[in-house]
Structure 1
């Protein structure tokens, strides 16, 4: 019988297989071990994770201010941790862009509608010790802290029966409850106090209009306002405050931005429009210009999209460019810095204090989306993710921008001492306010309130506040939907 080539090859194989099978009864052959995967070969991650990765990459390629520095090839199929991917892609200059998997919490932080105890804190450290203490900067109106009688300058030395350290200080912001033990300053030493208090966190709107007043000095009526966040919901209250200033015929304004990390572009434009000369507002003059990445700038040019923000004539009250004195330390950033920078081409603005944070850019919230009925809607699978991404720099009407070193003050003063932090906001003895009043009236400033010793046994930690990462210097424009393909369902 003749065999085809494949038949001739097959028969010896079958014969050998039969021999192995028959011999195996007495001497079984070992089971072959499958080859190990190459450790250098990346493992493909679940499709849902790939879609989150794709969302991050698409947003950053299209709108990120530093998109030119992104790698040309980004493998979204093997990265199991979207947060790690984002951190690798984030530019070293960018300490502000944030990725979150909780859009409700993030949006609440941006609108000041969130769960809170209602206090803002700074911290100090005891010398020769790891232990720390918290100092109240202010309390929000009608908050649990305010209702408990907590006030500016109060000191806490223990939280939930634990010493306050770098490992425990965030417990002051964790929920649902917090137990606090007071300390009191005597001479140059902070001693434990017997007083304690317990707070329960509440879902609430944190009203950024902290306090306001009118200060009469040497024939001047000076309107003082402490404003903690640029939030659109606060505009109605701001208009009422400025109406009060108008009724009392104030001659100058002191705007306290020392604890203001920024906020919404729209709120900054509204407040600027209340302060600016009436002529600039009514003529809809340019307030600021946005500078985007090269590709998005070209897209806006081709579509004829305006990159300017303008004064808003719809505001209910306008102070017509009264001389403005802004109080600043290192916290004012983004929207606070933009307001100072962008009003200067139109009116007298004097900055009192120290340099600002130097956050020279702003961004948008990006949310994953899908097409539904011809419209983009939040992605039902990964729509809880959100990316706060830096997308533009700002410049004033003359093209001047904020530098990374911040805005330098016209009138310098050093940070408050611990005894001075006990002065209520708006107190004319506050050295920052006193410097502004002196510049307005031409009178000398009062003597500073110092600690009793050059070495008080503790150091105030400037810049440590416990604020959410999203609010650490923010200038936010809008929410942008990013379509993400490849649904895993």
Structure 2
């Protein structure tokens, strides 16, 4: 059976207290060299691309004095981390506050409830408008009447541009200026809405539906993060699908930037069930760690709490994707592909096939939270292994291409879960031949979204050793 890693997130909260407490007030600050040494030790031991950086080689330095001189030559933890990273690494991260990172792993964030994308104007001006993808329940955005499809183009009265969007949207409270978009022109309405972020835990299961079309039961689920804390709820959805006799499934991962590898394996097992014990993915670690740590991930029949998985035993699944679908989302697609017919609908995915786990400043090999240096809160999520499916497919750096290409039309997003919503309708059309016209529209460039400040965006996580 696949080894189970576990990051004691709840224990971390109990130790730290408030999720967003500023720990700097409670520390005797560690020196930069001490933190640099942690970064070097962690990457030297676990980094997937260790071979790409000569200074990480086990024989890189003549003695400890030379190695220590190298480590102390960097004036910040960020500078040594950036130096040691491989050019092919787009996803390893270093944070200076691991409490925020732990919160993100459990789906906790400061959030006003407006999940949005940011798009360049079609006139090449460099101006940007935002479009609301969805609104989280019981948040300020919901209370203020913000809805999917709303357009905004100013923050606190200032036009959003490709150069200022990050700083404008970073504060915990800001005022959006609403606009309309007709496919060509963005027109301000003069209406404004003040939005305030509060601490929020997001349920990643955003929509679940069962449709009966021409006598066929079709299940639909929009799933927005692979979060182990909600595995029982995810399993319950598939229990309902089973009870309702679902014969076709549409899994919507268009806004899912990834998360837990174990949850991805469980979800694949919920979709199938007939491949229990067979290889879902394999692992490739660095040369030093491969023999000891590499172990295939297997289709299984229970979630992490021991509850039996509710499996549909399907031989075909439709998966809706966008350029934001990453890591664990891609693992589900790639891992299922050798076994069943996976029809990908939407846009090309991000292209992340590597996994990470959280390293604290503690002794190797565990780098554990319980032994972490109490004098700083730096931690790393380095890439530690890459995944391949049972057929050996990996290294999809340019993403996974859809079988049916369609992008969201910002002028006509539709209602999530409604059979007329364009991407869902396209999947239904292929599954059940419900013919519908596709109306051409202006495809624009997206430059960011509401998750651009999330340190875990696009990260695929295995739990700690």
Instruction: Give me the TM-score of the superposition, normalised by structure 2.
Output: 0.83
C-alpha separation between the residues in 1 aligned to 2:205 and 2:148?
15
Match of 1:68 in 2: 51
Residues 1:82 and 2:77 are matched in the alignment: yes
Deviations 1:393-422 (A, max 9, x none): 101123322421222222x2232222232x
Residue of 435, 444, 457 corresponding to 1:444:
435
> Is the partner of 2:275 in helix, strand or coil?
helix
Residue of 436, 460, 464 corresponding to 1:475:
460
Q: 1:90 to 1:306 in 2, by over 3 A?
A: closer
Match of 1:213 in 2: 209
> Is the partner of 1:420 in helix, strand or coil?
coil
Q: How does 1:352-391 map to 2 (within 5 A)?
A: 352-369=345-362, 377-382=371-376, 384-391=377-384
C-alpha separation between the residues in 2 aligned to 1:220 and 1:236?
27
Quick check: 2:357–2:381 contact (8 Å CA) kept in 1?
yes
Q: 1:438 to 1:431 in 2, by over 3 A?
A: same
C-alpha separation between the residues in 1 aligned to 2:77 and 2:369?
26
Residues 1:340 and 2:333 are matched in the alignment: yes
Quick check: 2:120–2:447 contact (8 Å CA) kept in 1?
no
Deviations 1:374-395 (A, max 9, x none): 995121112x101110010101
- Of stretches 203-212 and 315-324 in structure 1, the one that deviates more from structure 2 is 315-324
Residues 1:425 and 2:416 are matched in the alignment: yes
User: How big is the shift at 1:349?
Assistant: 1.7
Match of 2:32 in 1: 49
Q: Cα RMSD (Å) of the superposition?
A: 2.3
Quick check: 2:182–2:411 contact (8 Å CA) kept in 1?
no
> Is the partner of 1:320 in helix, strand or coil?
coil
- Of stretches 72-81 and 388-397 in structure 1, the one that deviates more from structure 2 is 72-81
> Is the partner of 2:161 in helix, strand or coil?
coil
User: How big is the shift at 1:117?
Assistant: 1.4
C-alpha separation between the residues in 1 aligned to 2:330 and 2:239?
24
> Is the partner of 2:371 in helix, strand or coil?
strand
Residue of 251, 265, 274 corresponding to 1:279:
274
Q: 1:415 to 1:375 in 2, by over 3 A?
A: closer
Quick check: 2:223–2:256 contact (8 Å CA) kept in 1?
yes
User: How big is the shift at 1:339?
Assistant: 0.5
Quick check: 1:121–1:134 contact (8 Å CA) kept in 2?
yes
Quick check: 1:222–1:252 contact (8 Å CA) kept in 2?
yes
Match of 1:141 in 2: 137
User: How big is the shift at 1:157?
Assistant: 1.4
Deviations 1:114-138 (A, max 9, x none): 2111222111223253322111111
Quick check: 1:120–1:137 contact (8 Å CA) kept in 2?
yes
Instruction: Give me the TM-score of the superposition, normalised by structure 1.
Output: 0.79
Match of 2:6 in 1: none
Quick check: 1:330–1:463 contact (8 Å CA) kept in 2?
no
Quick check: 2:282–2:295 contact (8 Å CA) kept in 1?
yes
Residues 1:331 and 2:324 are matched in the alignment: yes
> Is the partner of 2:352 in helix, strand or coil?
coil
> Is the partner of 2:358 in helix, strand or coil?
strand
Q: What are structure 1's unaligned runs of at least 5 residues?
A: 1-45, 481-489
Quick check: 2:104–2:456 contact (8 Å CA) kept in 1?
yes
Which 4+ runs in 1 deviate beyond 4 A? none
C-alpha separation between the residues in 2 aligned to 1:116 and 1:469?
11
In the comparison of the two structures, how many residue pairs are matched?
415
Residues 1:161 and 2:157 are matched in the alignment: yes
Residues 1:309 and 2:297 are matched in the alignment: yes
Q: 1:176 to 1:352 in 2, by over 3 A?
A: closer
Q: How does 1:235-314 map to 2 (within 5 A)?
A: 235-276=231-272, 278-281=273-276, 284-298=277-291, 300=292, 307-314=295-302
User: How big is the shift at 1:463?
Assistant: 5.0
User: How big is the shift at 1:320?
Assistant: 1.6
